[in-house]
Amino acid sequence: MISLEIGATIFGLLQGILVLLNKRSNWIFYIAQIICLLIFSYLNKLYGDVLSNSIYFVFGIIGWFLWKNEDIALISACSSKERLVYSSIIVFGTIIMFILLSKTQDPLPLIDSFTSVSSFIATYYMVRKKLDTWIIWFVNDICYVVQYGLLENQAVYLMGLNIVWTAMAVASFFNWLKIMKGYKNEKNIFCRQV
pLDDT at res. 53? 87
Residue type present at position 25: S
* Long-range contacts, stretch 147-155, CB < 8 angstroms, 24+ apart: 147/108, 147/111, 147/112, 147/115, 150/107, 150/108, 150/111, 151/44, 151/107, 151/108, 152/107, 153/1, 153/44, 155/5, 155/40, 155/44
**Local confidence band at 74 (pLDDT 50, 70, 90 cut-offs):** confident
Residues spanned by the domain of 141: 2-193
**Torsion sign across C-alpha atoms 109, 111, 116, 117:** positive
φ/ψ (deg, to 5) at 22: 65, 40
The more confident residue out of 153 and 99 is 99
pLDDT at res. 186? 62
Measured distance between the N- and C-terminal CA atoms of the chain, rounded to whole angstroms? 60
Burial of 125 (0-12, 13-18, 19+ CB in 10 A): buried
pLDDT tens digit string along 13-51?
999 999 999 899 999 999 999 999 999 889 988 777 788
pTM beyond 0.85: the answer is no
> Into how many domains does the chain fold?
1
Report the half-sphere exposure of 136 (CA within 13 A, side-chain side). Answer: 29
